[in-house]
Amino acid sequence: MIVAIDGPAGAGKSTVARALAERLGFSYLDTGAMYRSLTWLGLQRGIPLDEGDRLGVLAREFPVSFDDAGRVFIDGSDVTSAIRQVRVDRMVPVVAAHAEVRDVMRERQRELGSEGDVVIEGRDIGTVVAPGAEVKVYLVADPAIRAGRRQAERPEIGADALATDLKLRDESDAARMRPAADAEEIDTTHLTIEGVVARIEELVRACIPAER
């Protein structure tokens, strides 16, 4: 079974998707980490981030991988922390906008998500990567709340700069950020993580045949 969790930054995707996967014994795939890793590698190698063809080739040559503990690797480096840097936050939508990059990433995401039960988190999972997903959820939240949550994860950046960054990223991601027609939208503004996880778990359980 595939559970697709999409939505903008700070809506709660990662925390909720991880907790849900653990609760259900599903595996977990963070597709944002894949775009982030490629952005990190492009920056590292000085590749101009507007060159989609070169980035597509780079993505194919250096597939992102994850270990069982959720650590992220590209080109032999553990980039788990490095991909959460503010410079990566800012540049990742530029990299993710290239069709050449998306083709490679989506292919790999389908491959990684093809075995067993999995929770996949991203922007285009319910619409493009896994349109057949049994459960599709689109998380949203008030922009001020989203900025506040992100601030807790990026204490090094000022509140105003962070709110501006989120707004700019929403704008660049807008083309890929729409809920699937059959997704359940959950507004997490006033919900606890536990509350969101419980709601999605209900949707999943409703899809599991009684004999499983």
SS3 content of the chain, % helix, strand, coil (to 5): 55, 15, 30
In the complex, the smallest distance separating the C-beta of residue 41 from ligand CDP, rounded to whole angstroms, is 14
Q: Does the protein bind ligand CDP through residue 136 (CB under 6 A)? A: no
Which amino acid, residue 93?
Answer: P
Q: Does the protein bind ligand CDP through residue 98 (CB under 6 A)? A: no
Q: Does the protein bind ligand CDP through residue 49 (CB under 6 A)? A: no
Find the binding residues for ligand CDP in span 13-32 (CB under 6 A).
13-14, 31-32
**Which secondary-structure segment (H or E) carries 135?**
strand 135-140
Measure the CA–CA gap between 123 and 138, rounded to whole angstroms: 9
Among 100, 173, 187, 201, binds ligand CDP (CB under 6 A): 173
Nearest to 106 by CA among 45, 195, 29: 29
Find the binding residues for ligand CDP in span 68-97 (CB under 6 A).
92-93, 96
Q: Say if residue 163 is exposed, middle or buried (CB neighbours under 10 Å; 0-12, 13-18, 19+).
A: middle
Q: Does the protein bind ligand CDP through residue 123 (CB under 6 A)? A: yes
Of 8-16, 68-76, 139-147, 198-206: span binding ligand CDP (CB under 6 A): 8-16
In the complex, the smallest distance separating the C-beta of residue 13 from ligand CDP, rounded to whole angstroms, is 6
22 or 202: CB nearest ligand CDP: 22
Q: What are phi and psi of 5, to 5 degrees?
A: -120, 110
Which amino acid, residue 86?
Answer: V
Q: What are phi and psi of 131, to 5 degrees?
A: -65, -15
In the complex, the smallest distance separating the C-beta of residue 204 from ligand CDP, rounded to whole angstroms, is 20
Among 36, 98, 136, 146, binds ligand CDP (CB under 6 A): 36
Measure the CA–CA gap between 180 and 164, rounded to whole angstroms: 27
Q: Which residues bind ligand CDP (CB under 6 A)?
A: 9, 13-14, 31-33, 35-36, 92-93, 96, 122-124, 169, 173, 176
